[in-house]
Chains A and B, each alone.
Chain A
């Protein structure tokens, strides 16, 4: 109860003091404002990126393994080492499917870029994927109209195609594509299905894809110099690590690697992207925290400075308060509250600016920035920490003033 009275009195005194020196108070908070704005904006950006990344990466599926010639993340100049590896073949994919006990579905894929034409309309650089009916399982690709490739299409190497939604829209602006014959890289294919809209994956428009039976793909676009990517859906996400081990063993057997030879293939997964992403944003975090910490430090020193001025200016007031019974702790509390209130003012302005900035960034650039409830806690943390840390010295100085000398101070 007594403490409550002191705190409330402290708040009133600090409010009066801040009000009497409006310009000075606002200028003092500038450092804090800049620091808080920086930290919160960058944190908001990172959070936005995280959200975007998570939703992007979910397109890959957490229970899918990808066997490739190249690892997704290469360090330094190692590309040339991987390039000399033996291509992964369709036969490899078939053996993997035969031998793996943990795979639910195995789909080999080949990719190339070719223009797709229908009468006058053309889509340049569409991504042509040769695969099997199991691609439906490994990639979550669902046709919106018609159907996906069937086992029959695949085994008979039928010249059929499933179009991505954007390809279909561009080629057939006014008519039904199903059953029509499109020309892909000079070869005719009959449209059997159209995929639902998928959006983009790290800048790749997933709706400009077209899917063919892999045999038909190889017959027309060549098989010899292409390495197959084998997509494996594992029976459950918990079995991912075990499946990776199993697949490594199978691939080594298939490719006839001796006991101590290095793998000549890579097993990729969603996690690898996540790890790389976290490494990258980790650096960003460090920079944000560094910049923010420096501004906050400068801001804190500003607060300390102005409080020291304030203590000197109000020496007489402190003397009066002490003469009529204020204890050291009362004076200490009073100036700490004042310190925290200046800080709170800065944090408040900083948060307001950061929110505006994040909205602006989100509106003006493709970078998503999101600010949520955590800002309030972060702000409170700043207020208490900075306010106490930089307020304690001036407040202590005020508390220790000798009342007789303070009363005599002009």
Chain B
């Protein structure tokens, strides 16, 4: 078992009001699964993604990632887990604008202290996997939206993380480019990666093997998709 969520809850304090984003989430994800998390806005899917991505800790319950309890780790421990276990792909790409593609992809390796030469070769390899071997010295502003997202995917891959966590990865792309990006995820899944996709688009979620639907901080439905399994 890669991920085990048990009775996860999350409350936010906004002024004097306490808002419950997640009530009680139970979920397990196995290695090499391809899971989509869906739900309308306010359903708690962003909160769940933040917790899954170790950007945030739950108010209650336990989160085992690779048999490690990450629910009550401190900031620096979480940073280390993120660096080692999780590759993020964001809707808005979130690349460093002044750094070229290669340097953007190298970034996670810098923070785990990989020496420069090894960093370079690993980053090159990841960029080649997403078909950008010839664009390594371009800055994000010199790349198209699809290319930027591929750089982001390469960055998510470079450290061989346990999970690739993609938050609306096609949200800022036209549908053709979006399809290309989804193909890359497909390929990565086939190569053995575990992918968690957060989206509100049904047809994007259809790419996955399993859809978890959230509503009001609870899992409404958790089922395999048609055409898969």
Which residues on A are within 8 Å of B, measured CB to CB? 1-2, 5-6, 9, 16-17, 20, 316-317, 319-330, 403-404, 407
List residues of chain B with CB within 8 A of the CB of A2. 113
Interface residues on B, range: 20 to 34
Which residues on B are within 8 Å of A, measured CB to CB? 50, 53, 55-56, 75-76, 79-80, 82-84, 88, 90, 94-96, 98-99, 107-108, 110-116, 155
Interface pair B80/A327, CB less than 8 Å apart: yes
List residues of chain B with CB within 8 A of the CB of A16. 98-99
Q: State the Cβ distance, A327 to closest chain B Cβ, in Å.
A: 5
Bound-complex Cα distance A321 to B95 (A):
10
Interface pair B113/A324, CB less than 8 Å apart: no
Bound-complex Cα distance A317 to B94 (A):
8
Interface pair B115/A5, CB less than 8 Å apart: yes
Given contacts A324-B82, A325-B83, A404-B56, contact A330 B98 (CB under 8 A): no
Interface pair B110/A5, CB less than 8 Å apart: yes
List residues of chain B with CB within 8 A of the CB of A1. 113, 115
Interface pair B88/A323, CB less than 8 Å apart: yes
| Cβ contact of B94, chosen from A6, A327, A407, cutoff 8 A | A407
Interface pair B94/A9, CB less than 8 Å apart: no
Q: State the Cβ distance, B85 to closest chain A Cβ, in Å.
A: 10
Which of A16, A317, A321, A325 has the most C-beta atoms of chain B within 10 angstroms of its own C-beta? A325
| Cβ contact of A322, chosen from B79, B90, B116, B155, cutoff 8 A | B79
Interface pair A324/B88, CB less than 8 Å apart: yes
Q: List 23 A-B contacts (CB under 8 A).
A: A1-B113, A1-B115, A5-B113, A6-B110, A16-B99, A20-B98, A316-B94, A320-B96, A321-B111, A324-B83, A324-B88, A324-B107, A324-B111, A324-B155, A325-B84, A326-B111, A327-B75, A327-B76, A327-B111, A328-B76, A328-B79, A404-B56, A407-B90
Q: Which residue of B lies closest to A319 (CB)?
A: B94
Q: Which residue of A lies closest to B97 (CB)?
A: A317
Interface pair B108/A324, CB less than 8 Å apart: yes
Q: Which residue of B lies closest to A329 (CB)?
A: B76
Q: Which 5 A-B pairs have the closest CB atoms?
A: A325-B83, A2-B113, A325-B111, A324-B108, A327-B76
